[in-house]
Amino acid sequence: MNPDEHPLLEIEPEALRAAEFMQAQELLGGMVGRRIVSAQLEETRIAIETDDGSIYYFYGFMGEDSSGDAAADHTSP
């Protein structure tokens, strides 16, 4: 496949990192007032369960970074 034929496949890592960081901030904002009942450090992510049964997954994104950039995902019961 010629990369010039598919410009939509070109992704800027910094833009993606910034978008994932914003998503993580939104998820953390939604956790305000909830109590964390479980936190598990898994091989590729951190799983946090709140008192309402929701589980939030936080992933490292594109390598390790000491500034704390992370991606997040949320699963409701």
Burial 41-67 (b: 16+ CB within 10 A, else e): eeeebeebbbeeebebbbeebeeeeee
Which pLDDT tens digit goes with each residue over 6-21?
666 677 888 888 888 8
Q: Which amino acid is at 61?
A: F
pLDDT at 40: 94
List the chain residues with pLDDT less than 70: 1-9, 60-77
Residue 14 corresponds to which tokens in the numbers above? 């910094």
Q: Could you give the CA distance from residue 33 to residue 41 in angstroms, rounded to a whole number?
A: 22
